[in-house]
């Protein structure tokens, strides 16, 4: 069964920082057998993470590359609910 996986960083894109493109090897490996979306945070709150509990993703791979303020309270609540509903979380 092909899982739908979100690989998400906790910071917006910055070329000389840990944007999601830096994780292209793991993204490519997972994409061989799964439906993978790889993205950087797009704001606070992030449009995808803040509603992740209402998404059709099976797993979230959250790459916390921020300096301590990467997730908003709304994002944390949605991620917690996603997990309670049985979604997989790799942090």
pLDDT in tens, 15-69: 999 999 999 999 999 999 999 999 999 999 999 999 999 999 999 999 999 999 9
Compute the average pLDDT of residues 78-84: 98
Q: Which uninterrupted H or E stretch holds 9?
A: strand 4-9
Is the model's pTM score more than 0.85?
yes
Compute the average pLDDT of residues 68-89: 97
Q: Nearest Cα to 70, choosing from 42, 32, 28?
A: 42
With cut-offs at 50, 70 and 90, classify the pLDDT of residue 1.
confident
pLDDT at 84: 98
């Amino acid at each position: 069964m092909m899982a739908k996986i979100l690989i998400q960083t906790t910071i917006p894109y910055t070329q000389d920082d840990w944007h999601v493109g830096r994780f292209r090897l793991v993204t490519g490996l997972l994409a061989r057998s799964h439906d993978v979306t790889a993205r950087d945070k797009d704001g606070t709150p992030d449009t995808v993470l803040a509603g992740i509990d209402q998404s059709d993703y099976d797993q979230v791979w959250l790459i916390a590359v921020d300096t301590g303020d990467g997730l908003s309270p709304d994002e944390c609540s949605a991620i917690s609910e996603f997990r309670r509903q049985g979604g997989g979380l790799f942090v």
